[in-house]
Structure formats: C-alpha cells, structure tokens
Structure 1
Amino acid sequence: MRGILRGTLYCALCYGSIVAGFLFIACPLLPLLLFSPPRFRKCGDLLFSCWELYPTALLNVFGVKIYVSGDHISPHESAVLVMNHRTRVDWNFLWAAMYQACMPNVACHRLKFILKDTIRHIPGPGWIMQMNGFLYITRHWKEDQGRLSRTLDYLIALDSRTQLLIFPEGTDLTKSSKEKSDKYAVQHHLSRYTYTLHPKTTGFAYLAQHLQRANYLDAVYDLTIAYPDYIPQSELDLIRGKFPDEVHFHIRRISSADIPMHDLTLRKWLENRWSDKEGILKRFYKQKAFSAEIWPIKKTLPLQAAFGFWSILTGQPLQKIGTLTYIKIMTLNNSKKF
C-alpha cells in the first residue's frame, strides 16, 4: 500500500506539472507564434528544459540514482541521438541523464523525441510535445517521410541546433518484441540478441542523410541505458511505486566526419552499432556498471528551485478546484436556509 501511495504521488506530480505548465505557461505563449516563430521556439525550448529539471528532482527525492558515463553532449550541436529502448518508461529517466550529460552547463539543450503518432493525442504531454516541435511517425513510410522532411527543413530554416532522439528498435524490449526480433535474425542470418532488438534502419538513415545534405549534422550520440536491479516495464509499475534503485547511461559521441553518407552504408553502420551495444550490455549486466568513471552530479540548487516552482504551480489547479467546490457547497447550504 505504501508503494502504491508513493508511486501515485510521483506520477501525479509529474503529470500534474505537465498539465499545469501547458495551461499556465505554454498556452499564453501561443500568440507569440503568430508574430515571431523563432522567439516562440526559443521560449518553448526554454520552458521545456526548465520543466525537465522537475522529473530529475523528483527522481532524486524518491531515491532513484542516475549514473552517467562516457562522452558529454553539447547542447549547441545539431545531432541525432540513438538509444536502445529497454522499457516503455526509459524516457522518464532520460531527463536526469541529459541534465548530467550536457556540457557546458546551459539551461536549454533542445532535445526532441521521434515518437509514435498516437502519443500526440495524450492530454497534456502529447499537446505540449506538439507545441515544442517533437516529431511523430505513423509507421507508414510515405507519410512519415513527408513529416520528417517538413520538420527538418523547418528546424534548419530557423537555424535551430536541435538534438533529435530516435529509438531505432521501434518498440521496447518485451517477450513478444524479442520473438519478432529473433525471427528477423533467423530470416536474415543474423545473431540473436538478448539485451536489445535488431534496429530498424530506415528512419535513422533518412534523418542522417537529410541533415548531412544540408550540412547540418555535427554528430551522432549513441546512448545505452541499463537497469542493474529492478526493471520497470511500464507506467503501471511506476504507479505501483516499483522504482529501480539505479539507472545507468553510457554515451558515445561520433563526429559527423565519421558517419557514412550513403544509404546502405548508413544502415550497416547502425546495425554494427547495435551489435556493439549488445556486447556492452552483456558486460554491464556482469559488472553492474558501464565504467568506473561516473560523472558527478551537478549542482543541486537548480533542482531544488525547480522542485519548489513546479510543485507550487502543480498545486494551483487543485487549489482552484477545491475553492470552487467549497463555494458551491456553501452556496447550496445558504440556499437551503431561504
């Protein structure tokens, strides 16, 4: 029971902060889009990066430790980030990793996900991510190609140095998805993976080539996530209060000069990266660490400020609902007297 209360509180605060931020900050910014799209995007990126401090602070409060090793991420680079998708809630811990990974320590890194189209309809998170320029795909390549092309051209025209995160596996690692991956491996005479799924290469290859042709790709960052103890598979696990004690990230930066440009070689390059990632994860689960060199946690003052601000903002709708309910009750009681 205690775990459920703990998990419900965490999810309520996290989700409530998104809704409150959308209603009280993001929506009032919308008129700016009509007059100055670049300024609107800058304000949106700043708002989102400030909000990202809140789930980072919540994880700290709820005792989840995030360990990051490898290369730092430059927030000033136009880059593609590729990451294995171990569970549905990987994104929940990524904000904390980005907070530790980005150097120099600036407020806005402009990270945007490439997500399934259905997610954009989720009240609150889906809306705010649409406003912030996240990319949504339908799994129908002709339509997705057009969407990606328009969004990338828009970001390039704004000269927005954005970090685009894509999960090449297409889904999280489950029993059914692993069976499909193993079947694909048998059909194409590939090795079966234990800790990852065989990546889908079309989306990544298109992203990299489109940015390369515009001379707008500075680097590709290869992120690997691992859970040494408990692995929460879905949001329901978080609601039940089943948090991992630790989440580990390892980051490798590959310069654009070392990224192939031809479609087939790009696809093969990504497949090789995933083969290496499988080996890295195999060693991780034996040693329970990626590297002995773990980056120290940055200053906690921004996290404390974010925790206070977003908690107060999240409480505003609840306070207003409570006040309105109280007024209605008092009005009904007074009407009965007459």
Structure 2
Amino acid sequence: MRILRFVPALFVFVFVLLLLVPLNLTQMASLVVWPFSKKLFRAINRGVCATFFGGLNILMEKIAGVEVIFSGDTLPSRENAFVISNHQAMADIPAIIALATRSSRAGDIKWFVKDPIKYVPGIGWGMLFLDCIYVKRNWMADKARVLKTFENLRVHRTPFWLVSFLEGTRITPEKLKRSQAFGAKAGLPLLTHVMLPRTKGFEATMEGLGEHKQAVYDVTIGYEGRPPGIGQLLLGSVPRVHVHARRYAVAELPKDNAGRAAWALARWVEKEARMAHFKTNGKFPAS
C-alpha cells in the first residue's frame, strides 16, 4: 500500500508534463514566425504562458483544493506593473500566479530568475521565450542583458507583470541573521519576519522600464505554519495561502534613485508589520 502514497505526486508530475510538452513544442514552432512578425511571436508565447500558468492555477485551486485568500487592493486587468514580493518558499510562485489569474494577467507574467534555471528542461527552456530576465546576482555581469530586456519590453510595447522577489533569495534563519547584521551596520530598521530588500535592483528596474509601466504592486504572501514546497502546495497539502496586494501608481513614486530606495525600504517596514499581524491573527489586515 505504500505505493499509493506516491499516486498524488505522480498525478501532478503527469499533469505538468502533459501541459509542458505540447506547449514547448508550440514555442519551438513559433520561431518560424519570429523573422516575419515579432508581434505574432509574442502573442503565441503569451498564449502559451497563459495556458501553462492557468493550468497550474487550476491544479492548485480546483483539483488540489487550496484556498487562496486575497486581501488589499483589487488590481486592474489592463496595466503594466512591477510586482515586488517577500519570498519564503517556491510556493510563492503559484501564489503570485493565482493573483495574476484573478486579474486575467497570467499570460503576462515575467520573472527575474536565477541564470541556471534556463538550462532546466521544459520550464527553463520555455521561459526563454517569455522575456524573463535571467540574473547571476552580479550587476556588472547582468547589466547589459537586463537593460536589453527592458528595452525590448518598451520598444515592442509588451504587456507585463514583471515579478521580483526583492530580498533576492528565500528567507531562512541564517539568511535573516545576515540581513539583520547588514542592516545594523547600515543603521537600517531591524526586521524579523522579512529580510531587507535589495534596492539596487528596484532602482534599476524602475529606471529601465521607463514610462512603459503604470504601477508597482507590493505583494505579501503568508502561510499558516511552515512555508511549503511547491510540490506540497500543488498536492493540496496546504489548505490555504494568503496573498495581500497594495497598488501604487508610478506617478506617486519618487523619480530619483535615493528616493526609490527609501520608498522600497518603507514598503518592507510595512511588510514587517503586516507579517507580524498575520503571525498573530492568522490573516492579513484588510488594507
């Protein structure tokens, strides 16, 4: 009977595989139209993205029965946005997909992802077609490629939700201690539920996207208990995920880098208070 324990995991694997294979083949076929119509190429891959992420959301919410509890602002369905979030686990990814699906924007999600991911069969290869931004965490090494992607988004007027986990990595006790030590030396606030944001990336993204963005969405994700792995979430081992979103119009944000850095830090101080409220009450505040 032990083998029965692996049936749900096998189902998830087959479900994802059946999604990925035809979609990757569609992406490969879309290369044929690239020399003639980059607009059509991007439209095809937007459809691929919407289908895959939409499928994952169906798997999580409808099949696995995970309840996603949204709070905060209602996000519009037609708006280019820079999405910033705390990062506790890989399960944060389907949580953000659920938020995007709610606003009919699953096909427009683009991620900052670690460079080695592009070598992962299926998902990594597929993201190469979606204007996702692969980074090595070395700005001098990443700068030219990142700025080129920003330029492509602007020039081709590509719709997007560009997602960045501003802390740069998933939170762990060891990483939190390092973040706190850095903050203490720099005279920054002490955070215990989130890590300090890496504001250089925020500044560069705000500058690089130029006027081709209308808002910044500040997302906070919370789990009841220990943050799960992505497999646990898709298997329904987690009953609920909490996603809080705040929308800020770009016109309201500072235009200089120092002001942007201070603005991002202020959001993380708010996020700290929001997470503290969540830990105490089991839910985020309504606003």
Identify the residue that residue 108 of structure 2 maps to in structure 1: 110
Instruction: Please give the alpha-carbon distance, in whole angstroms, between the structure 2 residues aligned to 1:163 and 1:134.
Output: 11
Identify the residue that residue 95 of structure 1 maps to in structure 2: 97
Identify the residue that residue 168 of structure 2 maps to in structure 1: 170
Are residues 245 and 37 of structure 1, via their aligned partners in 2, closer, same or farther at CA, if it must alter by over 3 Å?
same
List per-residue Cα deviations over 1:303-328 (Å, max 9, x = no partner).
xxxxxxxxxxxxxxxxxxxxxxxxxx
Question: Structure 2: where are the runs of 5+ without partners?
Answer: none
Identify the residue that residue 140 of structure 1 maps to in structure 2: 138
Give the C-alpha shift of residue 129 in structure 1: 0.5
Identify the residue that residue 59 of structure 2 maps to in structure 1: 58
The more displaced of 217-226 and 191-200 is 191-200
Are residues 132 and 182 of structure 1, via their aligned partners in 2, closer, same or farther at CA, if it must alter by over 3 Å?
same
Instruction: Please give the alpha-carbon distance, in whole angstroms, between the structure 2 residues aligned to 1:160 and 1:97.
Output: 20
Give the C-alpha shift of residue 124 in structure 1: 0.4
Instruction: Please give the alpha-carbon distance, in whole angstroms, between the structure 2 residues aligned to 1:55 and 1:122.
Output: 18
**Alignment equivalent of 1:227, drawn from 217, 223, 227:** 223
CA contact (8 A) 2:51 2:107 kept: no
Amino acid at match of 2:67: K
**What does residue range 235-250 of structure 1 map to in structure 2 within 5 Å?**
235=230, 237=232, 243-250=237-244
Instruction: Please give the alpha-carbon distance, in whole angstroms, between the structure 2 residues aligned to 1:209 and 1:276.
Output: 23
Instruction: Please give the alpha-carbon distance, in whole angstroms, between the structure 1 residues aligned to 2:77 and 2:117.
Output: 25
Amino acid at match of 2:137: R
Partner secondary structure for residue 220 of structure 1: strand
Identify the residue that residue 38 of structure 1 maps to in structure 2: 39
Partner secondary structure for residue 221 of structure 1: strand
Amino acid at match of 1:42: A
Give the C-alpha shift of residue 4 in structure 1: 3.9
Identify the residue that residue 272 of structure 1 maps to in structure 2: 266
Instruction: Please give the alpha-carbon distance, in whole angstroms, between the structure 2 residues aligned to 1:27 and 1:211.
Output: 28
Count residues with an aligned counterpart: 284
**What does residue range 168-317 of structure 1 map to in structure 2 within 5 Å?**
168-212=166-210, 215-232=211-228, 234-235=229-230, 237=232, 243-291=237-285
CA contact (8 A) 2:114 2:136 kept: yes
Partner secondary structure for residue 21 of structure 1: helix
Amino acid at match of 1:163: W
Give the C-alpha shift of residue 197 in structure 1: 0.8
List per-residue Cα deviations over 1:162-187 (Å, max 9, x = no partner).
22111110000112211221221222
TM-score normalized by the length of structure 2: 0.91
CA contact (8 A) 1:7 1:238 kept: no
Structure possessing the higher radius of gyration over alpha carbons:
1
Does 2:117 match 1:119? Answer: yes
Give the C-alpha shift of residue 63 in structure 1: 1.9
Identify the residue that residue 69 of structure 1 maps to in structure 2: 71
CA contact (8 A) 1:75 1:109 kept: no
Identify the residue that residue 128 of structure 2 maps to in structure 1: 130
Amino acid at match of 1:243: S
Amino acid at match of 1:152: F
Partner secondary structure for residue 32 of structure 1: coil
Give the C-alpha shift of residue 191 in structure 1: 3.2
Give the C-alpha shift of residue 291 in structure 1: 4.3
List per-residue Cα deviations over 1:210-263 (Å, max 9, x = no partner).
223xx222111101110024421x456569x57211001011100011111101
Are residues 89 and 15 of structure 1, via their aligned partners in 2, closer, same or farther at CA, if it must alter by over 3 Å?
farther
- Percent identity at matched positions? 26
Question: Structure 1: where are the runs of 5+ without partners?
Answer: 294-338
